[in-house]
């Protein structure tokens, strides 16, 4: 009899444990996404693209509402100044002043490099859908961090086979994100560093993308967030196709 | 003396002579024509596949074929140019820079290959100019003029004179975009190629894509295309380890393999036919020679030696063989020659051919005297060999037994 009770109790404990764990993971990811995106965000950042041969610096302004809409404008170098990008849900457009044309980025180009960096067009569009497209699970935990494994839903339109995300317990912000392909080969690591107080919240201000694939040996892309304002009202006019040309100047 | 007797015998034993001549003649003609057709069609396939765009010999940075990224470019095109100028056996060479961009017209945006070429030199290296369908081919100082594949033009819904844009990444990884005017539309017949390739003059490409003195490929046309492999080795040696120089046999290894397999299967099929035919010849020879056992016995009895008889019988079959091989060679050769001038059109298979990257559906035979002579010698030897067994067998009898037979 005693053993029966014991087993039952254990089972109950286990079940409640699993349940609690799952709920936990979901809320962790939710908090992370909220912290990273804010309700709205305006940012000025610098992007450094390092390759074997060269290093380029670009500066840009970004406006976003949640994770659905964003607008990016290149402000430096002069040659690329005025190039704008608009992302609304899962579509992306680009305006190039030199050719005076707005181009919708087709699906076939989604995995191409974004502005010569180690980010792809797809990153800009899909980075947002982690909470929708992936099954989440905490696989490890220590005093400062959770390690969360993200496995894509079967029908999810994603390019990764698996993602391992480190989440800081202190800030509920990602620390490192490891991306694996379908053969479970590590393709790249994105690190979020230098958490600083920005307005009311803490925010990582130094992002480093380290590609691990052979063709990208010696490459690195670094984002430095120079200025950020969260949760202030951003005009809806930024998130229309017309804005691409209008705010290009 | 022997010759006279041999000729007399050939004339007397008409049936055997005719059967041997007809069969051998037919087989020779078949072999000669089949070789000519295979060689011809394979040459044609290779030629069309190689000459449309890839070229007989490609030079790239050593890792480019494995990892075709901007980190593995030829960064000093000038030094490669200098080295190539000093190598003999090269007819022409030219550089290319291939990149991947997004083409965008008013109607649509499509990803495709955007390549800078040297229009004048390219004329001799590939069929790009010959594939012109509409408008004009590029000239070296063209600025922002595009030479575009017919299928790509169709997908973008552009025609000559229209303006379209491209957006891509320059050789220094910077952003590159411009508006270009369609100067010409080409159609090579290779669907895939026509659906993704577009070309501009290298001088313009270098400027807009920040690619001065850079290239992805050097394409070399050897003086003699058949020497491409040797030339590739020489170039490799001269350029050093930083570069890779490969002949079409390597760059198009799949196609070459396919041709070999095709030839092997062809020869196996022919081989089976030949075996059947030579058994027939052997049996006929056996029958006629045995019908002559008495005659041979008498010859022996009057003092002819076995070796003389062997010579006589061999001479007979050699004469028969010679006549039929020459006749067969003439017929096969004539067919080969005719189909070299008037290629066989395999109509209805154009689509399948295109899937294999072959733009030709007209397959010429190739008339080559050396192959003709080779095939004739092979057939002659086989004919004589097939009569050897009966001859030796009959010659083994003792005269007395032979006469009694």
**Chosen from A48, A52, A53, A82 to mutate, greatest number of chain B CBs within 10 A:** A53
**Chosen from A106, A111, A118 to mutate, greatest number of chain B CBs within 10 A:** A106
Asked if A99 and B177 come within 8 Å (Cβ–Cβ), the reply is yes
- Tell me the chain B residues in contact with residue A109 when contact means C-beta distances shorter than 8 Å: 102, 109, 111
- Residue B363: the pLDDT is 75
Hey, what are B94's tokens? 């030219």
User: Which pTM value belongs to this model?
Assistant: 0.74
- Residue A19: the pLDDT is 44
B178 touches chain A (CB under 8 A): yes
A196 touches chain B (CB under 8 A): no
| Distance to chain B for A155, nearest Cα, Å | 26
Interaxial angle between packed helices B306-341 and B14-52, expressed in degrees from 0 to 180 and rounded to the nearest 10 = 40
Hey, what are B305's tokens? 């030696």
Asked if A101 and B165 come within 8 Å (Cβ–Cβ), the reply is yes
Nearest-CB residue to A116 (from B173, B177, B178): B173
Alpha carbon distance B328, B364 (integer Å): 20
Closest Cα in chain A to B103: A103
- Tell me the chain B residues in contact with residue A103 when contact means C-beta distances shorter than 8 Å: 102, 104, 109, 165, 167
A116 touches chain B (CB under 8 A): yes
- Tell me the chain B residues in contact with residue A96 when contact means C-beta distances shorter than 8 Å: 165, 167, 177
Provide DSSP, B316-337.
HHHHHHHHHHHHHHHHHHHHHH
- Residue A67: the pLDDT is 80
Interaxial angle between packed helices B14-52 and B2-12, expressed in degrees from 0 to 180 and rounded to the nearest 10 = 90
| Distance to chain B for A48, nearest Cα, Å | 12
Spatial CA neighbour of B146 closest among B156, A31, B290, B318: B156
| Secondary structure letter of residue A4 according to DSSP | H
Asked if B71 and A54 come within 8 Å (Cβ–Cβ), the reply is no
Spatial CA neighbour of B163 closest among A99, A204, A230, A123: A99
A94 touches chain B (CB under 8 A): yes
The shares of helix, strand and coil residues in chain A, as percent rounded to the nearest 5, are: 25, 45, 30
Sign of the CA dihedral B115, B120, B121, B127?
positive
Asked if B178 and A79 come within 8 Å (Cβ–Cβ), the reply is no
Task: Please give the average pLDDT of every successive group of 10 residues along chain A, which has 249 residues.
Answer: 57 48 75 87 94 90 88 92 90 91 86 87 71 87 92 84 93 94 94 91 94 88 94 91 89
Size of the A and B interface in Cβ pairs below 8 Å: 67
Contact B126, B219 (CB under 8 A): yes
3-class DSSP assignment, residue B365: coil
| Distance to chain A for B65, nearest Cα, Å | 11
Q: Residue B208's CB: how many other CB atoms inside 10 A?
A: 20
- Residue B405: the pLDDT is 65
Contacts with B85 (C-beta within 8 Å, 6 or more apart), sequence order: none
Hey, what are B215's tokens? 């290239």
B102 touches chain A (CB under 8 A): yes
| Secondary structure letter of residue A72 according to DSSP | E
Cα B255-B137-B131 angle, rounded to 5 deg: 35
| Secondary structure letter of residue B196 according to DSSP | T
Q: What is the largest CA-CA distance in chain A?
A: 82
Contacts with A124 (C-beta within 8 Å, 6 or more apart), sequence order: A70, A72, A85, A87, A92, A114
- Tell me the chain A residues in contact with residue B173 when contact means C-beta distances shorter than 8 Å: 49, 51, 54, 56, 116
Hey, what are B279's tokens? 């058994």
Contact B368, B36 (CB under 8 A): yes
Closest Cα in chain A to B166: A99
- Tell me the C-alpha to C-alpha distance, in Å, between residue B167 and each of A50, A94, B199: 21, 10, 14
- Tell me the chain B residues in contact with residue A53 when contact means C-beta distances shorter than 8 Å: 71, 172
Contacts with A59 (C-beta within 8 Å, 6 or more apart), sequence order: A44, A45, A46, A47, A74, A75, A76
Hey, what are A208's tokens? 């480093």
Contacts with B397 (C-beta within 8 Å, 6 or more apart), sequence order: B293, B296, B297, B405
Task: Please give the average pLDDT of every successive group of 10 residues along chain B, which has 405 residues.
Answer: 83 84 88 87 80 92 90 93 93 95 89 96 92 94 95 95 93 90 91 92 95 95 90 93 92 85 87 85 81 82 84 88 92 90 73 58 80 89 84 78 73
Strand partners, B198: B114, B148
State how beta strands B175-186 and B217-222 pair.
unpaired
Contact B208, B378 (CB under 8 A): no
| Distance to chain A for B113, nearest Cα, Å | 13
- Residue A128: the pLDDT is 52
| Secondary structure letter of residue B302 according to DSSP | T
Contact A174, A147 (CB under 8 A): no
- Residue B23: the pLDDT is 86
Closest Cα in chain A to B179: A99
Cα B139-B151-B347 angle, rounded to 5 deg: 110
- Tell me the chain A residues in contact with residue B107 when contact means C-beta distances shorter than 8 Å: none
- Tell me the C-alpha to C-alpha distance, in Å, between residue B261 and each of B51, B264, B266, B364, B372: 22, 5, 9, 19, 22
Spatial CA neighbour of B80 closest among B281, B179, B218, B250: B218
Phi, psi of B49 (to 5 degrees): -65, -40
Asked if A214 and B169 come within 8 Å (Cβ–Cβ), the reply is no
Strand partners, A55: A50
Contacts with B82 (C-beta within 8 Å, 6 or more apart), sequence order: none
- Residue A18: the pLDDT is 46
Strand partners, B372: none
Asked if B172 and A56 come within 8 Å (Cβ–Cβ), the reply is yes
Closest Cα in chain B to A118: B173
B253 touches chain A (CB under 8 A): no
Alpha carbon distance B151, A142 (integer Å): 58
The ipTM of this complex is 0.77
Nearest-CB residue to A54 (from B69, B111, B172): B172
- Residue A126: the pLDDT is 61
CB within 8 Å of chain B, chain A residues 118-157: none
């Amino acid at each position: 009899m005693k053993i029966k009770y014991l087993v039952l109790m254990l089972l109950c404990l286990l079940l409640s444990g699993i349940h609690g764990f799952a709920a936990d993971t979901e809320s962790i990811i939710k908090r992370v996404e909220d912290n990273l995106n804010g309700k709205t965000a305006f940012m000025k950042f610098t992007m450094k693209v390092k390759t074997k041969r060269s290093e380029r610096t670009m500066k840009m302004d970004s406006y976003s509402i949640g994770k659905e809409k964003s607008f990016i404008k290149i402000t430096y170098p002069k040659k690329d100044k005025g190039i704008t990008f608009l992302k609304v849900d899962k579509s992306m457009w680009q305006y190039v002043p030199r050719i005076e044309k707005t181009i919708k980025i087709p699906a076939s180009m989604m995995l191409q490099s974004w502005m010569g960096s180690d980010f792809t067009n797809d990153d800009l569009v899909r980075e947002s859908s982690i909470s929708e497209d992936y099954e989440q699970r905490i696989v490890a935990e220590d005093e400062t961090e959770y390690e969360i494994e993200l496995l894509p839903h079967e029908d999810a339109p994603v390019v990764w086979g698996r993602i391992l995300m480190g989440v800081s317990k202190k800030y509920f912000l990602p620390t490192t994100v490891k991306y694996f392909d379908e053969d479970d080969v590590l393709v790249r690591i994105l690190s979020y560093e230098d958490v600083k107080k920005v307005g009311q919240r803490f925010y990582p201000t130094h992002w480093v993308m380290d590609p691990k694939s052979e063709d990208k040996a010696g490459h690195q892309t670094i984002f430095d967030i120079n200025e950020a304002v969260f949760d202030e009202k951003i005009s809806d006019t930024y998130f229309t196709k017309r804005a691409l040309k209008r705010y290009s100047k | 003396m022997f010759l006279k007797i041999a000729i007399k015998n050939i004339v007397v034993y008409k049936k055997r002579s005719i059967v041997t001549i007809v069969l051998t003649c037919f087989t020779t003609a078949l072999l000669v024509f089949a070789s000519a057709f295979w060689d011809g069609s394979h040459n044609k396939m290779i030629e069309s596949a190689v000459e449309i765009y890839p070229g007989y010999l490609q030079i790239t940075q050593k890792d480019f074929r494995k990892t075709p990224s901007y980190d593995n470019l030829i960064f000093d095109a000038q030094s490669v140019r200098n080295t190539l100028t000093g190598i003999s056996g090269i007819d022409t060479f030219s550089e290319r820079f291939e990149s991947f961009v997004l083409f965008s017209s008013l109607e649509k945006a499509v990803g495709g290959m955007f390549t800078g070429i040297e229009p004048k030199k390219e004329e001799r290296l590939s069929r790009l100019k010959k594939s012109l369908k509409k408008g004009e081919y590029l000239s070296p100082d063209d600025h922002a003029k595009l030479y575009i594949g017919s299928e790509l033009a169709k997908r973008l819904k552009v025609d000559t004179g229209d303006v379209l844009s491209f957006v891509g990444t320059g050789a220094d990884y910077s952003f590159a975009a411009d508006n270009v005017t369609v100067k010409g539309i080409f159609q090579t017949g290779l669907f895939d190629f026509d659906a993704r390739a577009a070309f501009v003059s290298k001088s313009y490409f270098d400027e807009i894509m920040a690619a001065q003195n850079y290239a992805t490929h050097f394409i070399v046309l050897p003086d003699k295309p058949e020497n491409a492999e040797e030339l590739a080795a020489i170039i490799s040696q001269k350029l050093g380890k930083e570069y890779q120089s490969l002949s079409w046999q390597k760059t198009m290894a799949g196609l070459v393999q396919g041709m070999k397999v095709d030839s092997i299967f062809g020869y196996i099929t022919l081989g089976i036919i030949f075996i059947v035919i030579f058994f027939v010849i052997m049996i006929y020879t056996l029958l006629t020679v045995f019908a002559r056992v008495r005659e041979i016995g008498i010859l022996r009895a009057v003092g002819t030696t076995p070796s003389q008889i062997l010579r006589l019988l061999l001479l007979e079959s050699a004469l028969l063989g010679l006549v039929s091989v020459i006749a067969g060679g003439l017929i096969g050769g004539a067919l080969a020659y005719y189909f070299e001038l008037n290629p066989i059109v395999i109509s209805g298979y154009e689509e399948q051919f295109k899937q294999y990257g072959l733009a030709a559906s007209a397959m010429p035979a190739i008339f080559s005297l050396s192959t003709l002579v080779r095939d004739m010698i092979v057939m002659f030897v086989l004919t004589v060999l097939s009569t050897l067994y009966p001859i030796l067998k009959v010659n083994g009898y003792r005269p007395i037994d032979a006469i009694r037979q």
